[in-house]
Amino acid sequence: MKKQLMSIILKIMSSIDDKLGENSTVLDLSNITSICDYFVIASASSSRQVKAIVDAIEDKLSKEGLTLTHKEGYESGRWVLLDYGDIVIHIFHEEDREFYNLDGIWKDANEVNIDIV
């Protein structure tokens, strides 16, 4: 299961990278909460770029047959949450990421090193 999730996370990170997302982080929450196993967090410099990253992720994961269970914040493009069950993705406008500081709130989570080739 974990190997399958890592494959999905690589696709997410690739989509973020393709749309020039910044400060991408993957947090392993599996040992500290039952909300989900992983958070993927990334930033963008504009609302338009936030939406472009979200669209790319949704497109790539739908082609993999994955079902989005919840989506929030797309209209404003400031903080978009995509819930895929075991993986929750947060794409922030860079100012909002600093303000909400999810990385700090979940500081007990292990950061997963992902290399995108």
How confident is the model over 43-67, as a mean pLDDT? 97
Distance CA 87, CA 85 (A): 5
How confident is residue 93, by pLDDT bands cut at 50, 70 and 90? very high
What pLDDT was estimated at residue 25?
96
What pLDDT was estimated at residue 116?
60
Q: What is the mean pLDDT of the chain?
A: 94
Neighbours of 41 (CB within 10 A): 21
Is the pLDDT at 27 greater than 70? The verdict is: yes
How confident is the model over 41-67, as a mean pLDDT? 97
What pLDDT was estimated at residue 1?
58
